[in-house]
Amino acid sequence: MKYRPRIGTDFPITKEEVIAKTHQIAELTRSMIALAYVLLGGLTLTVVAAFCIYKEDFVVLETLWAVLAAPLGLIVGYYFRGSSPDGKNDNQSSA
């Protein structure tokens, strides 16, 4: 064949580049889901707190906090982890 298509030869892609891009997209997606959860949880807590102050009954707020507290704590712990107390294990945040 005299003429051969040169598709892909102008932009060589290696396996390492594909793996790095896939990891980047996965981490971005994970970060966006966590950020959305934190923002929506905070907004919900604020609205419910205002409603509970108006009604002077805080049972709904206590129940909502019981549901949101553990996931929020895990998200904050994951994204704001630092080094261990002895300073040897440096766990950099991936965010």
pLDDT digits (tens, 9 = 90+) for 33-74: 999 999 999 999 999 999 999 999 999 999 999 999 999 999
**Residues 53, 70: Cα–Cα separation, whole Å:** 24
Reply yes or no on whether the pLDDT at 82 is more than 90: no
**Residues 18, 93: Cα–Cα separation, whole Å:** 22
Reply yes or no on whether the pLDDT at 20 is more than 80: yes
* Domain total of the chain: 1
Q: Does residue 24 lie within any of the structural domains? A: yes
Query: What's the pTM value of the predicted model, to 2 decimals?
Result: 0.67
Please provide residue 10's backbone torsions phi and psi, each rounded to the nearest 5 degrees.
-75, -30
Can you state the angle between helices 15-55 and 59-79, rounded to 10 degrees? 160
DSSP letter at 9 equals: T
Q: 28: domain range?
A: 16-79
